[in-house]
Amino acid sequence: MTQVVHMLLLLQTILQMRKPKRDAQPRKGVHALMKGFYSRKLHSLLGVIPLGAFLLEHMVTNFAAVEGGSEGFREAVAFLNGLPLVLLLEIFGIWLPLLYHGVYGMYIAFQAKPNNGRFNTERNLRYLLQRITGVIAFAFVIWHVLETRVQVALGRVSHEELGGVMHDIVNQPIFFVLYLIGIVSAAFHFTNGLWSFLVSWGVTVGPRSQRVSSYICMGLFAIVSVMFIWSLIAFRDAEFQAGGTALLETVKALMA
């Protein structure tokens, strides 16, 4: 009993020690801060690290399908799944950041009141595209994850069979076109977002540096798009077919 009282007293002292640290300035700041500045900054950061970084990693993994075919892709996937604590990496490096960035991004997108008719500039067009591609990319990523990672989690597919799953998806013209739209949207959203990240964190300040970073980011957009599309075309090759056909039925049933 006395121990409890002692602990409470100690706690009280600690709490009192914290109090007078701030001067008479009202503390309304803290809550307001969490609502605005920090949450937006976090959104901006997560878009590049880890989400942008993972997008680039995904691009490299996929490109193994171009360079090494079915076997190369399987090895790349195996390498990724061989990383230590891969589930934790997925949760903290992909799922949670994606959830936050996506949900908060929707909030940002629907707060906008685009006026591209009045201000027909490239930068204003990119402002609009950033929001549209963000919404498309989020929907696309959810769909893509449902078809691949969730199927693995449910035990319907193994990681080794994902090449086959992709083969069956991209061989359907409608899905192939939807994947193209999704990929280009994601690539634009990331690269254009990288440009605004540099502005929002105060790295590129003047018009010249912002122009130069714009060239670099749009170059990156071209590279990322081409590499993803190339991989997508590679998945259409018959060598990915093995083991995939049966799974198509499952995916189809799920979509229906």
Partner 1 sequence: MAMAEAEVPGNKMTVKKVKFIITRQDEPESKSYIEEFELDYRPGMNVISALMEIQRNPVNGKGETTAPVCWESNCLEEVCGACSMVINGKPRQACAALVDQLEQPIRVEPMRTFPVVRDLVIDRTRMFNALKKVKAWIPIDGTYDLGPGPRMAEKKRQWAYELSKCMTCGVCLEACPNVNEKTNFMGPAAISQVRLFNAHPTGEMNAEERLDALMEDGGIEGCGNSQNCVVACPKGIPLTTSIAEMNKATTKHMFKRWLGV
Q: Which residues of the shown chain bind partner 1 in the complex (CB under 8 A)?
A: 29, 32-33, 35-41, 108, 110-115, 117-119, 121, 123-124, 127, 196, 199-207, 210
Choose between 198 and 234: whose C-beta lies nearer to partner 1.
Answer: 198
DSSP character string of the chain: -HHHHHHHHHHHHHHHHHGGGS-SS-TTHHHHHHHTHHHHHHHHHHIIIIIIHHHHHHHHHHHHHHHHHHHHHHHHHHHHHTSTTHHHHHIIIIIHHHHHHHHHHHHHHHH----TTT---HHHHHHHHHHHHHHHHHHHHHHHHHHTHHHHHTTSS-GGGHHHHHHHHHTSHHHHHHHHHHHHHHHHHHHHHHHHHHHHTTSS-SHHHHHHHHHHHHHHHHHHHHHHHHHHHHHTSGGG-TTTHHHHHHHHHHH-
Comparing CB distances to partner 1, the nearer of 16 and 121 is 121
Tokens of 75: 């090895």
Distance CA 235, CA 119 (A): 42
Give the shortest CB-235-to-partner 1 separation in angstroms: 35
CB atoms within 10 A of CB 212: 12
Nearer CB in complex with partner 1: 109/180: 109
Shortest distance in whole angstroms from residue 238 CB to partner 1: 45
Q: How far is the CB of 78 from partner 1 (least distance, A)?
A: 40
Of 54 and 127, nearer to partner 1 (C-beta) is 127
Closer Cβ to partner 1, 139 or 194, answer by number:
194
- Pick between residue 3 and residue 111 the one whose CB is nearest to partner 1: 111
- Cα 216–219–224 angle (5° rounding)? 125
Query: Smallest distance from the beta carbon of 48 to partner 1, in angstroms?
Result: 14
CB 42 to partner 1: min, Å? 10
Q: CB of residue 231 vs partner 1: minimum separation in angstroms?
A: 30
Q: How far apart are CA 193 and CA 127, in angstroms?
A: 10
- By beta-carbon proximity to partner 1, the closer residue of 96 and 203 is 203
Nearest distance, CB of residue 45 and partner 1, angstroms: 11
